[in-house]
Structure 1
Amino acid sequence: MTKIAVPRILAPLLAGATYARLLHLLVGWISMGVILLIYPGTYGLTLSRIVAEAVVTDCVLLVLVALIPAARRAEGVQARLLLVPDCEADIAADPSGSWADRWRTALWLVGRVALGSAVGMATVLGLTDGAHLLTGTQGPRYLLLLPVALLGYGWLVVGVGRLQLAMAVRLLGPSPAERLAEAELRAERLLERNRLARELHDSIGHALTVTVLQAGAAREVGDAAFVAKALEVIEETGRQAMEDLERTLVLLRESPEGAATEHPGVDQLPALFDIARAAGSPVEALVDLSEGKLPGVLSRESYRIVQEGVTNALKYAPGEPVSIRIAVRGGQLELRCANAMSAAGGVAVRNPAAGARKGGKGLRGIRERATLLGGEATAGASRDGSEEWVLHVRLPLRLGS
């Protein structure tokens, strides 16, 4: 189908948005006309007095209307529907939340009615003069002025409509407080999604590591009892990973169930240690939290940190003993996860910097968790000559301190 080329000067006049904005302008003009007819009326008044009375009365009533919080919402919805019917604009649709919003709404109403009245009067005058031209009362030669008048009126509507749109964005757009709240909300959502991504990485990574180790050990050993135990560990680890995955998906969907979804905490660490022992790595754990129960966020993040430390030990030093120490000292929660380094794990004892764990995503995630909680995390070969890989994390008990 061949498209008809429209001259640039006529394109805005044929756009649907132009006529939607004209309707919006005429609504403001009609409201002023109704007020003028009801009060103060036009009987016995000169034209200048009529205009003065109408302006004063309309401004007072519009300011009073703008004091109603819902007026801003109503005007915002109208502006979105009629001023920007085919595109997006930063126009709020919320009630007034402050006096600044009310005064901006008042300015908008006054400006909208003023522009609408100007276009409405131009429409009436244009229709009157156009009727005279068509009937020939001004002479046949004036018929040539009709296309020029129509073009001028069309561009008047286009220009005033764009001006009114700019006013709507400026006066009905989000206030600085609303913009700040929206930016904070976006930042919180981004942080939450990053946190969920880290949790999913830790949980699935741990499950896959245990599964691979158990399956490989079962194949090598060939003992029926060991194979049965390995399959049991794989089943339990997979079930926990599925629960973590479902929990994360619920939160990502932002469904009502997300608020009630529970997260694993330090109280579930014994089950984590049992899985590591079943995978063939002896685990010695000492958890001393005698000073009281940890806050929910600290308990959850501590579990994920220890989980990542155990996963790294199983991955890079399978079968080697793992030592876990969790204690509260001096107002800080200290987490220490250590395991003997083995050549099979790809970690050179003489050159700790060459370890495969130095730049892993898991260790980076641990450092990010610690930093967000106001703490610090270090990982590397032990400096006391014990040939151990040590993960050491300190977290303040009072978040934000």
Structure 2
Amino acid sequence: MPRILAPLLNGATYARWLHLLVGWIFAGVVLMVYPGTYRKSLAEIVTASVALDTVLLALVALVPAVRRAEGVQARLLLVPDCEEDIAVEPSRGWADRWRTALWLIGRVALGSAAGFATFFSLSGCYDLLAGPKPLLRDLDVPWPDLPLWYLPLAVPLMLGYGWLMVGAGRLQLAMAVRLLGPSPAERLAEAELRAERLLERNRLARELHDSIGHALTVTVLQAGAAREVGDPAFAAKALEVIEETGRQAMEDLERTLVLLRETPEATVTEHPGIDQLPALFDTARAAGSPVEATIDLAGARLPGVLSRESYRIVQEGVTNALKYARGEQVGVRIVVRDGQLELRCVNRTPLGGAGGGGVRKGGKGLRGIRERAALLGGEATAGPAPGEGRDGGRDGSRAGEWVLAVRLPLRLGA
């Protein structure tokens, strides 16, 4: 019994019932204003009404805004499980207009059937409950002498009518999803928008990870070194480095927030590039890790996105060196060779390097570097140097060193 009554007590059923009756009312209004229905048979009136409604609805569907209005109304009254199943965009082409026309015609037809079912069901229940005289007016039988077995028939009649409206409402919803749902072009545009937003979120997440992570690493190292050394002059220098690093982190955070707000300023926000790497290296040296850097661009002018992403890649490499190999020398080399920008960051790992590489394998920072390189059409590798003996491997690395190597094409998209 609860399963039988639950749909009848659901508010969505009555909202859909109201949506059905709107179609019936439209058909009735058109029929009342249509001339020439006087002294016509019922079949002629119905035929004329169907023809007139079809023509009017097809013409109305040509207006692009009608699809949007019908979509909004369907979302409100048909109560779909997922609102995105019903579009609220105007018609973009003839395919959308034809689908809208079919929807309007089907809606009015189904609504008219539901309206007549409502009228006859309610009138039938009234006749049953009003007594025998309306039903047996021509029979000369007094009321007390008639059996009352027919009175309970009103209950199954109302239940049957209720379930008929439940089915009609669900059918109307299925029609709306089919005919008012997003077109293939709209689904493709929505998928592209979601992919673009996801890429933008990932890019902003990498920006925050690299900039804030670097600032926190330098701050923690400087604070710890100042406490251990106990030299007032060193502590003052450490506080100066912490202040400068914090200021840079605040600027990076403000740039990222501007992008998140999607304000007009987001298009003109400046980002750090390769020209700001010397300041980054000075910060690492102040944190206790000597840095030897070579930047040879051979007169090449880097695109803005390539310069920005290169800065973030090197920043992450230096941050990893400070975090996992504090105090060890860091070697950075940036050169242009064979139409590619080569970024290389090398540092010795503590105690011969067995542990540092294992700690860093698969970190979010290294994964972000690989993603940046892939988006620019390049490649990135990171890991312990294989090394060949004491003098080093074929690429100049030595055993016990951690090597980050990135190659990016100068011509993006090449």
TM-score calculated relative to the size of structure 2:
0.85
Aligned equivalents of 1:358, 1:144: Cα separation in 2: 77
CA contact 1:202–1:308 (8 Å) conserved in 2: yes
Sort the Cα spacing of 1:283 and 1:105 in 2 relative to 1 into closer, same or farther, 3 A.
same
CA contact 1:40–1:53 (8 Å) conserved in 2: no
CA contact 2:80–2:173 (8 Å) conserved in 1: no
User: What amino acid is the match of 1:370?
Assistant: A
Partner of 2:32: 37
User: What amino acid is the match of 2:100?
Assistant: T
Partner of 1:368: 371
What SS does the aligned partner of 1:323 have?
strand
Post-superposition offset of 1:292 = 4.9
The correspondence for 2:20, drawn from 19, 25, 30, is: 25
Aligned equivalents of 2:356, 2:234: Cα separation in 1: 36
Sort the Cα spacing of 1:358 and 1:19 in 2 relative to 1 into closer, same or farther, 3 A.
closer
Q: Deviations over 1:317-374 (max 9, x none)?
A: 33344332223333322212233x15xx3543xx699554344332232122212222
Aligned equivalents of 1:286, 1:250: Cα separation in 2: 33
1:152-301 matches, within 5 Å, as: 152-252=160-260, 258=266, 261-289=269-297, 292-301=300-309
Aligned equivalents of 2:119, 2:196: Cα separation in 1: 54
Post-superposition offset of 1:112 = 0.2
User: What amino acid is the match of 2:135?
Assistant: Q
Q: Deviations over 1:66-97 (max 9, x none)?
A: 11111111101111111118975621111112
Sort the Cα spacing of 1:304 and 1:41 in 2 relative to 1 into closer, same or farther, 3 A.
farther
Post-superposition offset of 1:376 = 0.5
Partner of 2:406: 393
Q: In the comparison of the two structures, how many residue pairs are matched?
A: 391
What SS does the aligned partner of 1:9 have?
helix
Partner of 1:55: 50
The correspondence for 2:312, drawn from 299, 304, 329, is: 304
Identity, % of aligned positions? 76
Q: Are residues 1:10 and 2:2 paired?
A: no
Sort the Cα spacing of 1:354 and 1:118 in 2 relative to 1 into closer, same or farther, 3 A.
closer
Aligned equivalents of 1:118, 1:355: Cα separation in 2: 72
Sort the Cα spacing of 1:314 and 1:129 in 2 relative to 1 into closer, same or farther, 3 A.
closer
CA contact 2:325–2:356 (8 Å) conserved in 1: no
1:312-323 matches, within 5 Å, as: 312-323=320-331
Sort the Cα spacing of 1:238 and 1:336 in 2 relative to 1 into closer, same or farther, 3 A.
same
CA contact 1:313–1:322 (8 Å) conserved in 2: yes
Partner of 1:121: 116
Post-superposition offset of 1:121 = 1.6
Aligned equivalents of 2:241, 2:173: Cα separation in 1: 64
Greater CA drift, 19-28 or 273-282: 273-282
Post-superposition offset of 1:109 = 0.5
Partner of 1:3: none
Sort the Cα spacing of 1:40 and 1:333 in 2 relative to 1 into closer, same or farther, 3 A.
farther
Q: Are residues 1:138 and 2:146 paired?
A: no
CA contact 2:86–2:181 (8 Å) conserved in 1: yes
TM-score calculated relative to the size of structure 1:
0.88
Aligned equivalents of 2:318, 2:98: Cα separation in 1: 60
Q: Give unpaired runs (5+ residues) of structure 2.
A: 137-145, 388-392
